[in-house]
Structure 1
Amino acid sequence: MILDWWLSPELQLRRPGAYYPEWRLDRLLKRKAEEGVRIYIQVYKEVSIGNEDIASMPLATAVSFPPRASPLTPRAQVTASMSLGSKHTKHALEDLHENIAVMRHPDHSGGELVYYFSHHEKLCVVDNKMAAMGGLDACFGRWDTRDHPLADVHPTEFQKALFPGQDYNNSRIMDFQNVEKYASNELCIQEATRMPWHDTSLTIVGPVVVDLVQHFCERWNFVKDLKYKHDHRMEYLSLPDPWHDVHSEQEAAKKEKQALFRAEHPHLSEWKDRGRRMTHPYHWPPSEEPRAQEPVACGSCRVQVVRSAADWSHGCLTENSIQQAYIELIREANHCIYIENQFSDPAVVTTTKEGGPIKNLIGAALVERVLSAAKDRRKFKIYVLIPEVPAFPGDIQASSGLKAIMEAQYRSINRGGNSIFDKIREAGHDPNEYISFWNLRSYDRINAPQGAIKKMEAASGVSFHEAQVALARLYVGEPGGDSADEDEVVYIEKPHDQTTAGDATNQKKKTAEDSVKLPRTIGDAQEIIDKFTQAAVRDDSDIPDNICQNAMESGQSSADAPWAGTEEEERNCIVTELLYIHSKLMIVDDRRVIVGSANLNDRSQNGHHDSEIAVIIEDTEMVESTMNGRKYMASKVATSWRRSLMREHLGLSIPQGPIGRNNQPTNWMRAAPVLAEYDYGSPDDLLVADPLTQDFTRLWNETAHTNRVIFDRIFRTVPNDTVRNWKSYQEFIGRNAGVKVGHVMNNDMSLAEIKRELAKIKGHVVDMPINFLIDEKWLTEGDFLSVNPITLALYI
């Protein structure tokens, strides 16, 4: 059972894909379907309309919008332009085997007319026994390691590519395009960075999985009734029974229970009569008989499912238990709150005045908790990590959508009169003593010295793009079956003179594409790759394809990283990009966790907008720790998760490259009940064990500040705290004219100096520039001005 906002059938699960072609998602699902496994998938059906379609809408819908106002929300606008390809997902998977059924919902015509909101859950349940859920979609652009590479060029070892075709993407430069053409790529990997991705999810076994199955079955049957009532492939699903209920109940007992079932769930009896019956391995009755299922591991965690659901999304009364859980956890916090959230949709944690546009009360709960700690003079810290900029293409000043999202975010944090900082200051306290906001950023070097590559092309008679398309054949597979036709043409972007004024934009200049026919077979493709790579002018095994790992504990320094080309070529290949935070996670007091698909905004939290799923975890297995220097018992799951994340952000983790050709997955890659290992008591662990000590605070703050200063100096990144209004914004980015997005902007620094400065970067955490555009009145005074007030509620 799979629920997803976006699912890419061609997603490579284990990488490099050339080493593990069998672990592509569609091929894995096909194998399981052929083994007799029934596979049920429901994906969000994206909106695909624009302003010109308003006139054709029913009157009741059209009159809700003023002239020229788009009826699309930010997420809807993104899904329309980036083409999630849900139609491709449905047909590509259903064509593999009759045991695979894929629903798309909601519809955007007829009786539903759901234009604004989406199904946003990310959930996979296997055999009603184990589940994976969280913030990570099974789609292009998400797979990453904690090194977060920005580049994927391997001139002499093409098979090491980690991000084939569409998976090499940067949404700040360009949205996904034509995702059904999954082997093509409209970003030039020789000069454009990918956007690295940071996310959090988990796997679960235990009785709580039955609740997740219930959520799936309710959604499935609801959509079945709405649009697939006469489609026999989409069968009704009964809620799962304990094994003995299916196999050993007597007729009299069944009738007696049915009356009770009707009282417990309005559709339970009906679904039992009409739907496919399934078992689950929990709630066993006392018995001496051998079980049909293997024993289920017993864990130490108490887990509760919460969700956002409503009539349009789930056929139920509005439920906003995710928001209620966040508020309760915040109010009950005693020491420390750690938050990672995408925050991009947009107006996240905020207080609100009576009648204001923002309705969720999570920001108010944060303010309330801070003021309570200040009143009691107790040490209390809140760490909030969010992306620098929403992952939409376009210049910040030119894009109304970007401005609307950033306006709501900044008004949530520190301006406008009703922000978190404003409310704390109003009560006479310094907000910086209690709550802080942070971003993540990465750097790398693209291993694409043009001189060496041109020599290889001349010597081999094979262009770099032909070799790149040959690699795509390894990714696509042999013609026929689940792969592309042998006459498929792959489009690859050529290097060009794309320049910018320092801010990402989708207005590209002098763009050109190579259209290259796929080699007929994998054998032909391998021959082309070998011909190109063997033409290398020198053995480059000593040249690292990436240097991003040096921000971690690699034992190497970017200052000393060797290079096969000229100094000018190396300078042109040093790049940076924001590290996009997509997590939806909060850890409280190192004891409780809430994690799932919900952003901290009205869309996710209010219940009747986007549909969401999350779990609250309380681990009863405790470990000895400290809090503010005093002995403290922390829960194992919560404290190890927070420590692991903070160590990654501080560069206190070893690099996590892809597994090699013959390497086996580690315990960190395996699903529950396999336990992930954590090195309690190690020197690096002790640095992050207590989030309230002065030593930790100093380490975190100084690392983030040093990293930010270096990135700003070399790359002149935007947003920037020195840019306080639109005039200074234009002046700031104007000095970067003529330089490609994400490349070195400071012409006064030598290559050696640049590499020495990069070597000082530790991890990825950076200060958030919370004073960006703070002198602009539209960000600080009056009503929200970025978009029409009628459509504002749809943005937040």
Structure 2
Amino acid sequence: MLKSRINSDESSDEEEDTSISESSDTKPKTIVGVTSVVDETHQFFLGKDYSNYYQKDFEFIEKFDEDYIDRKLVPRMPWHHEILVVSGEAARDCADKYRFNDFYPYLLPKTCDDDEVFDTSFLRSILPDDRPPIRIDAQCVRSASFWSYGIRTVERSNQFFVTIPNDSAIKNHIGDAIYRRIMRAHANKEKFRIHILLALLPGFSNANTIQAVLHFIMRSINKGEMSLYQRLKQNGVSNPEDYITFYGMRNWDILMGSLVTEIIYVHSKLMIVDDRMCICGSTNINDRSLQGSRDSEICLVVNDIEMIDSYLNGRIKNEDESNLDDPCSDEFYQYFRRIAQQNTEIYEEVFNSLLTNQVRRFIDVEANKKRSKLKETDPKK
């Protein structure tokens, strides 16, 4: 993919663009020279690594080297993940908390001969930064909930956000913890920001399953009197987005000469608090992960000891993006929101795919289908 975009979740009445591909019955119109669909040098995404859950779920997985979707017509759906390499005492902690399987109640011994020092020199070929690694305080845990003592800013990326207080079906208390923290900030007139990054749509090919999961996500965020937004409004927070906002990710590319787009599926489970502490692991914000009696989960809690200056993506693009000294500031907050809104508008103008903020009622669907798409009227623009 060529360039990532962040889509804002502005509307309270609908979900973001699914960008499910156009019908595969017709060949796309070519606007530029035909591009290769496989990287001949590195052979990326061979077989079922080239996937798109919205088009079709996996089948015949034992034939992993065979395609199951038409890569000439269907764009690949990229995933967003974070990965940790753990060494030192924290690695022993992970080994103690992690069970290999039913037959091995421990981690299998590593295959390398170095039993004392983990050689990080190979990371230099991956990480261009010449600075030596810094020390951190890390602990492995086998369960996790929202880290409610964040002082000013919380960034959270997650596959789901299903948390409804006093609900007969939903039992976790994540939403209630967020509500109490925002109310405390509101009462004390503190600046406090929560940025939550979600998958724009659940990763299922079945429409009924997608609708069911979206139903609970929207009930958690802003639908109904027990949703987070409505509870905040009922108790004096006139604009909940002064404190908490939701975002998604999307990308675009040229496939066989035509512009295509697809969401970047946020499958990560990462929380960053005040740029000083993070939790990275396997836990979603839903009952399966948080009840303790269902899915088993493992996370690493990381606290910074040493501090260094850094920039998003390792470089400064412009003056606005260099102003990250205080991610809680109004200046950065408004900049982040503005970029997300601009990206959303660009994708709607170019691709005009459902679902969209332009369609708020069923009666608007047919009219929206007649809207022109910039990818067809002027794709080189």
- Normalising by structure 2, we get a TM-score of 0.78
Aligned to 2:163: 350
Asked whether the 8 Å contact 1:381–1:434 carries over to 2, the reply is: yes
Q: For residues 680 and 212 of structure 1, do their structure 2 counterparts lie closer, same or farther at Cα, with a shift above 3 Å needed?
A: farther
Asked whether the 8 Å contact 1:350–1:362 carries over to 2, the reply is: yes
Residue identity over aligned pairs, in percent, reads: 30
Aligned to 1:322: 144
Q: For residues 585 and 750 of structure 1, do their structure 2 counterparts lie closer, same or farther at Cα, with a shift above 3 Å needed?
A: closer
Aligned to 1:711: 347
- Give the Å deviation of 1:751: 5.6
Q: For residues 356 and 189 of structure 1, do their structure 2 counterparts lie closer, same or farther at Cα, with a shift above 3 Å needed?
A: same
How far apart, CA to CA, are the structure 2 residues paired with 1:623 and 1:159? 36
Q: Does 1:755 align with 2:380?
A: yes
Which of 576, 586, 595 is equivalent to 2:280? 595
- Give the Å deviation of 1:710: 1.5
Which of 352, 355, 359 is equivalent to 1:723? 359
Which of 162, 179, 186 is equivalent to 2:68? 186
Over residues 555-605 of structure 1, what are the superposed CA-to-partner deviations in whole Å (9 max), with x where a residue is unaligned? xxxxxxxxxxxxxxx4xx111111111110111111110110111111111
Q: For residues 155 and 419 of structure 1, do their structure 2 counterparts lie closer, same or farther at Cα, with a shift above 3 Å needed?
A: closer
How far apart, CA to CA, are the structure 2 residues paired with 1:357 and 1:750? 43
Q: Which runs of 5+ in 1 are unaligned?
A: 1-151, 225-235, 241-275, 280-291, 308-320, 449-569, 625-639, 645-652, 654-677, 737-744, 757-796
Structure number with the higher helix fraction is: 1
| Mapping for residues 512-661 of structure 1, pairs under 5 Å | 570=257, 573-623=258-308, 644=312, 653=313
Aligned to 1:695: 331
Which of 364, 369, 372 is equivalent to 1:746? 372
How far apart, CA to CA, are the structure 1 residues paired with 2:91 and 2:76? 35
How far apart, CA to CA, are the structure 1 residues paired with 2:151 and 2:170? 27
Aligned to 1:428: 236
Specify the code of the residue in structure 2 equivalent to 1:392. Answer: F
Asked whether the 8 Å contact 1:679–1:685 carries over to 2, the reply is: no
Which of 252, 259, 262 is equivalent to 1:443? 252
How far apart, CA to CA, are the structure 1 residues paired with 2:91 and 2:42? 37
| Mapping for residues 163-312 of structure 1, pairs under 5 Å | 163-217=45-99, 220=101, 223-224=102-103, 236=104, 293-295=115-117, 300-307=135-142
The DSSP-based 3-state class of the residue aligned with 1:610 is coil
The DSSP-based 3-state class of the residue aligned with 1:754 is coil
How far apart, CA to CA, are the structure 2 residues paired with 1:382 and 1:179? 39
Aligned to 1:386: 198
How far apart, CA to CA, are the structure 2 residues paired with 1:175 and 1:293? 42
| Mapping for residues 72-151 of structure 1, pairs under 5 Å | none
- Give the Å deviation of 1:689: 3.9
How far apart, CA to CA, are the structure 2 residues paired with 1:712 and 1:388? 14
Over residues 448-483 of structure 1, what are the superposed CA-to-partner deviations in whole Å (9 max), with x where a residue is unaligned? 3xxxxxxxxxxxxxxxxxxxxxxxxxxxxxxxxxxx
Asked whether the 8 Å contact 2:351–2:375 carries over to 1, the reply is: no
Asked whether the 8 Å contact 1:349–1:601 carries over to 2, the reply is: yes
Aligned to 1:413: 221
Instruction: Number of aligned residue pairs: give it.
Output: 334
Over residues 674-729 of structure 1, what are the superposed CA-to-partner deviations in whole Å (9 max), with x where a residue is unaligned? xxxx5699967623342123332232112111111111122112222233344434
How far apart, CA to CA, are the structure 2 residues paired with 1:364 and 1:350? 8
Q: For residues 168 and 153 of structure 1, do their structure 2 counterparts lie closer, same or farther at Cα, with a shift above 3 Å needed?
A: farther
Asked whether the 8 Å contact 1:413–1:421 carries over to 2, the reply is: yes
- Give the Å deviation of 1:623: 3.9
Asked whether the 8 Å contact 2:164–2:219 carries over to 1, the reply is: no
How far apart, CA to CA, are the structure 2 residues paired with 1:616 and 1:435? 23
Aligned to 1:334: 151
With CA pairs under 8 Å and 6+ residues apart, which has the higher RCO, 1 or 2?
2
Q: Which runs of 5+ in 2 are unaligned?
A: 1-33, 120-132
CA RMSD of aligned residues (A): 3.1
Q: For residues 750 and 427 of structure 1, do their structure 2 counterparts lie closer, same or farther at Cα, with a shift above 3 Å needed?
A: closer
How far apart, CA to CA, are the structure 2 residues paired with 1:156 and 1:679? 29
How far apart, CA to CA, are the structure 1 residues paired with 2:94 and 2:158? 22
| Mapping for residues 773-792 of structure 1, pairs under 5 Å | none
Q: For residues 684 and 160 of structure 1, do their structure 2 counterparts lie closer, same or farther at Cα, with a shift above 3 Å needed?
A: farther
How far apart, CA to CA, are the structure 2 residues paired with 1:172 and 1:423? 33
The DSSP-based 3-state class of the residue aligned with 1:436 is strand
When Rg is computed on C-alpha atoms for both structures, the one with the higher figure is 1
Aligned to 1:124: none
How far apart, CA to CA, are the structure 1 residues paired with 2:38 and 2:97? 49
| Mapping for residues 454-473 of structure 1, pairs under 5 Å | none
The DSSP-based 3-state class of the residue aligned with 1:425 is helix
- Give the Å deviation of 1:412: 0.5
How far apart, CA to CA, are the structure 2 residues paired with 1:410 and 1:392? 17
Q: For residues 160 and 213 of structure 1, do their structure 2 counterparts lie closer, same or farther at Cα, with a shift above 3 Å needed?
A: closer
Asked whether the 8 Å contact 2:162–2:216 carries over to 1, the reply is: no
The DSSP-based 3-state class of the residue aligned with 1:181 is coil
Asked whether the 8 Å contact 2:250–2:262 carries over to 1, the reply is: yes
Asked whether the 8 Å contact 1:200–1:585 carries over to 2, the reply is: yes
How far apart, CA to CA, are the structure 1 residues paired with 2:37 and 2:298? 43
Specify the code of the residue in structure 2 equivalent to 1:176. Answer: F
Q: For residues 182 and 295 of structure 1, do their structure 2 counterparts lie closer, same or farther at Cα, with a shift above 3 Å needed?
A: closer
Q: For residues 205 and 299 of structure 1, do their structure 2 counterparts lie closer, same or farther at Cα, with a shift above 3 Å needed?
A: farther
The DSSP-based 3-state class of the residue aligned with 1:688 is coil
